[in-house]
Amino acid sequence: MRKNIVAGNWKMNTTYQDGLALVSEITNMVQDEVTGPNGVEVVICPPFPFLFAIGKQLPASSRFHLGAQNCSEKESGAYTGEVSAKMLQSVGCEYVILGHSERRQYFREDDELLSQKLKAALAAGLKPIFCVGESLETREADDTFNFISKQLKDGLFHLSNEEFDQVVIAYEPIWAIGTGKTATSAQAQEVHAFIREQIARAYDAEAALNTTILYGGSANAQNARELFSQPDVDGGLIGGASLKSRDFTEIIKSF
Ligand code: PGA
């Protein structure tokens, strides 16, 4: 069965010292307060330079996991400034976020490049958290479903069944990211159910049932419970609120 996941995407925030302090607060609070049947996986995605140290600081338990925010599509070689999937795996990463709208928008990552990054991540044994989501313009033009369906087809559905099994999907409407404007739980549920339907078509019903689909976009301690109560919402990819230990812990407790 699919997992529930709360992933914190720190983006380009914190210093090394602040990052270490933040992760220690989070792990302490979660260990003290999240008990009982809450089986949610917590994935911490700090900036590259802190990955190794933060990974070392995560308690050895099935609860905490380390993720990166991006990786190169290349395996190794003369690519100054790039970070390969294998490097990430070698410092303890299990997950990597790919196709975040900020990467698509500011770094011109398109479906073709993302396909290559997915392959590179999977070849290195990483689990991709693959992001899709429409702009406000697309939503207002009533074109959300077409748009998401194309992102899934062009970016993701070229994977084999075995490869696809490793993938987590994050639905992140661009208009909700960092804006304080969250999708309503009904809007999130509608798109999540649609994504699951597309998976069933591209693969099969079992793959659709087993795929974790996260919601991202101004999710916070106040709205998480309502969002996570939707049948097709399996957790969240959290930006701003993942930088505050109290808020992030409350989100994890929302399950
Ligand atoms: P936000 O970011 O929670 O700050 O809106 C979510 C994301 O971009 O992953």
181-198 tens-digit pLDDT: 888 999 999 999 999 999
Domain boundaries, the chain: 5-253
From the CA of 173, how far away is ligand 1's center (Å)?
10
The protein residue with its alpha carbon nearest to ligand 1, atom 3, reads 239
Give the pLDDT of the chain (255 residues) as one tens digit per residue: 899 999 999 999 999 999 999 999 999 999 999 877 778 999 999 999 999 999 999 998 889 999 999 999 999 999 999 999 999 999 999 999 999 999 999 999 999 999 999 999 999 999 999 999 999 999 999 999 999 999 999 999 999 999 999 999 999 999 999 888 888 999 999 999 999 999 999 999 999 999 999 999 999 999 999 999 999 999 999 999 999 999 999 999 998
236's tokens: 């969240």
Q: For a ligand 1 pocket test, name from 102, 238, 247, 250 the mutation site with the most ligand atoms within 8 angstroms of its C-beta.
A: 238
Q: Is 158 a catalytic residue?
A: no
With 0-12 / 13-18 / 19 or more C-beta atoms within 10 angstroms meaning exposed / middle / buried, residue 48 is: middle
The residues near 134 (Cβ < 8 Å, ≥ 6 apart) are 143, 144, 147, 148, 173, 174, 175
Helix residue spans in 34-95 (DSSP H): 51-57, 85-90
Cα 77 to ligand 1 centroid, rounded to whole Å? 32
Fold entry, domain 5-253: TIM Barrel (3.20.20)
Name the pTM for this structure.
0.97
